[in-house]
């Protein structure tokens, strides 16, 4: 097996190549290229081809690994390793011409995240981490912010787009945060939200209704940047549990308490 450092270097290069290809494809892209997977859930040939390219490369580097991939290019199961792939996080932004989308790929060793790479082609920013080695942006170390209260914090979230069972609770929480923070942003890409927590642009991010490929790489990068990542109950089921809280580890108690009270009373 390649070392994690070799895998990371290869994955950074592949993510940049695929991300730049996606950016070029966007120039001639139109809504006729879009398929609807479900309510407010879109896919295009760009997502599918990007994932195919990732799977081909990753399989050649680590043949024993399985895949958890958004577009289902491969459902191969691994005994120990699994790649978690979102070939284009922020597809709705992409199809509408909004330059806020990225690639997101993580590697799991059993149930532990050990490698993550996010590449945002519009900004040419690559966020990456290996477990235990810190987090980086374009090769430079990054850390979560030092702001220690919600009143000083800029937060990020994602609006419900197909799961409305908890929408009343969600919007009540949103109202609370608008009064107790510097504001909220909704970028349309959970992976970018997490990367921005890791580099200190946001102090916290929360969302429900997410998939493993939305959060895996970003969760590791936040942790390696010194942040905290849990599910809404403060536990570790944030990869497969469809909900996540990520923050700078300075506002955790205050941030999580509002979310827990809003959803669970």
CATH of domain 4-142: 3.30.540.10
Residue among 123, 46, 156 at smallest CA distance from 92:
46
Q: Which tens digit of pLDDT belongs to each residue from 109-158?
A: 999 999 999 999 999 999 999 999 999 999 999 999 999 999 999 999 99
pLDDT at 40: 44
Q: Which tens digit of pLDDT belongs to each residue from 170-182?
A: 889 999 999 999 9
CATH number for 150-264 (one of 3.40.190.80, 1.10.10.60, 3.40.50.2300, 3.40.50.620): it is 3.40.190.80
Question: Which tokens sit at 257?
Answer: 């308490």
**Could you tell me the pLDDT band of residue 32, with boundaries at 50, 70 and 90?**
low
H/E stretch holding 184 reads: strand 183-185
Domains of the chain: which residue ranges? 4-142, 150-264
Percent above pLDDT 70 for the chain: 93
Order of strands across the sheet with 204-208? 183-185, 154-157, 204-208, 243-247, 228-230
**How many whole angstroms separate alpha carbon 145 and alpha carbon 165?**
33
Q: Which tens digit of pLDDT belongs to each residue from 48-90?
A: 999 999 999 999 999 999 999 988 888 889 999 999 999 999 9
CB 105 within 8 A of CB 15: yes
pTM over 0.75: yes
pLDDT at 168: 86
Q: How many CB atoms lie within 10 A of CB 106?
A: 29
**Could you tell me the pLDDT band of residue 42, with boundaries at 50, 70 and 90?**
low
């Amino acid at each position: 097996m390649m070392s994690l450092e070799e895998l990371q270097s290869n994955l950074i290069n592949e993510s940049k190549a695929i991300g730049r290809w996606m950016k070029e494809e966007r120039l001639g892209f139109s809504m006729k290229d879009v398929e609807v997977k479900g309510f407010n859930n879109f896919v295009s040939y760009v997502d599918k081809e990007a994932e195919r390219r990732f799977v081909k490369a990753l399989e050649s580097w680590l043949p024993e690994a399985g895949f958890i991939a958004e577009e289902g290019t491969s459902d191969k199961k691994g005994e120990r390793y699994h790649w978690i792939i979102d070939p284009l996080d922020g597809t709705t932004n992409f199809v509408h011409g909004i330059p806020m989308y990225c690639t997101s790929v993580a590697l799991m060793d059993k149930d532990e995240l050990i490698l993550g790479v996010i590449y945002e082609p519009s900004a040419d920013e690559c966020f990456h981490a290996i477990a235990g080695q810190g987090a980086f942006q374009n090769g430079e170390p990054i850390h979560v912010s030092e702001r220690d209260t919600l009143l000083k914090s800029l937060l990020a979230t994602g609006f419900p787009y197909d799961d409305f069972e908890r929408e009343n609770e969600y919007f009540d929480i949103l109202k609370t945060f608008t009064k107790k923070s510097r504001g909220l942003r909704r970028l349309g890409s959970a992976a970018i939200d997490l990367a921005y927590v890791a580099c200190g642009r946001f102090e916290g991010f929360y969302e429900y209704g997410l998939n493993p490929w939305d959060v895996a790489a970003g969760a590791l990068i936040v942790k390696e940047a010194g942040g905290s990542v849990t599910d809404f109950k403060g536990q570790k089921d944030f990869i497969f549990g469809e909900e996540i809280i990520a923050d700078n580890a300075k506002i955790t108690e205050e941030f999580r308490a509002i979310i827990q009270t809003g959803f669970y009373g």
